Amino acid sequence: MAAASRRLLVDVHTHVYLPRYVSFLRSRTSVPRVFSRTTPEGKTEERLLILDAEPSGGRPMGSQQFWDRAEKLRFMDKHGIDISIVSTANPWLDFLPAATAQVLASELNSDLEEYCSTSPNLADGTLKQLYGFGLLPLVPEASSASLLEIIQQISNLPHLKGVIIGSRGLGKGLDDDALEPVWAAIEKAALVVFLHPHYGVDQKEWGEKDNGHVLPLALGFPFETTIAITRLILSGVLDRHPDLRILLAHSGGALPQLSSRLASCIDHDPVVASRLQHDARYYLGKLYFDAVAYGSEELGFVSDTVGRAEKYVKSGASAAASAGAGGVQRKLGSRRMLFGTDHPFFPPLGEAEKWKSVVENLEAIDGVFGWDEAEQNAVRGGNAIELFGLGKIP
Rg (CA), the chain: 21
Choose among ligand URA, Zn ion, none what residue 217 binds, the Cβ cut-off being 5 to 8 Å by kind.
Answer: ligand URA
Residue number, 54 or 187, with CB nearest to ligand URA = 54
Which of 175, 181, 105 has the alpha carbon at shortest distance from 148? 181
Phi, psi values for residue 298, rounded to 5°: -65, -45
Site track for ligand URA across 6-45, x = CB under 6 A: ---------x------------------------------
Strands 83-88 and 10-16, by their bridges, are parallel
Nearest residue (beta carbon) to ligand URA:
345
Choose among Zn ion, ligand URA, none what residue 164 binds, the Cβ cut-off being 5 to 8 Å by kind.
Answer: none
At closest approach, how far in Å is the CB of 376 from ligand URA? Answer: 25
Which of 280, 346, 273 has the alpha carbon at shortest distance from 308? 280
Q: How many residues bind ligand URA (CB under 6 A)?
A: 7
Site track for Zn ion across 335-354, x = CB under 5 A: -------x------------
At closest approach, how far in Å is the CB of 57 from ligand URA? Answer: 15
Choose among ligand URA, Zn ion, none what residue 279 binds, the Cβ cut-off being 5 to 8 Å by kind.
Answer: none
Which of 197, 182, 193 has the alpha carbon at shortest distance from 240? 182
What is the SS3 assignment for 65? Answer: helix
* Binding of residue 11 to Zn ion (CB under 5 A): no
**C-alpha span between 376 and 42 (Å, rounded):** 48
What is the SS3 assignment for 35? Answer: strand
At closest approach, how far in Å is the CB of 15 from Zn ion? Answer: 6
At closest approach, how far in Å is the CB of 50 from ligand URA? Answer: 6
At closest approach, how far in Å is the CB of 312 from Zn ion? Answer: 29
At closest approach, how far in Å is the CB of 167 from Zn ion? Answer: 13
Residue number, 50 or 61, with CB nearest to ligand URA = 50
Footprint of Zn ion on 195-254 (CB under 5 A): none
List beta partners, residue 193.
Answer: 163, 246
Q: How many residues bind Zn ion (CB under 5 A)?
A: 1
* Binding of residue 248 to ligand URA (CB under 6 A): no
**Binder of ligand URA out of 11, 224, 279, 342 (CB under 6 A):** 342
Task: For residue 151, give every residue at least 6 positions away whose Cβ sits within 8 Å of its Cβ, in sequence order, or none.
Answer: 136, 163, 182, 185, 186, 189, 191
Residue number, 50 or 313, with CB nearest to ligand URA = 50
* Binding of residue 345 to ligand URA (CB under 6 A): yes
Site track for ligand URA across 199-218, x = CB under 6 A: ------------------x-
Strands (E), the chain: 10-16, 33-38, 44-49, 59-60, 83-88, 129-135, 160-165, 192-195, 245-248, 288-290, 337-338
Footprint of ligand URA on 69-98 (CB under 6 A): 89-90
Convert 293-357 into a string of H (helix), E (strand) and C (coil).
Answer: CCCHHHHHHHHHHHHCHHHHCCCCHHHHHHHCCHHHHHHHHHCCEECCCCECCCCCCCCCCCCHH
String of DSSP letters for 73-122: HHHHHHHT--EEEEEEPTTTTTTS-HHHHHHHHHHHHHHHHHHHHTPPPP
Footprint of ligand URA on 44-63 (CB under 6 A): 50
Choose among ligand URA, Zn ion, none what residue 69 binds, the Cβ cut-off being 5 to 8 Å by kind.
Answer: none
- The footprint of Zn ion (CB under 5 A) covers 342
Binding site for ligand URA (CB under 6 A): 15, 50, 89-90, 217, 342, 345
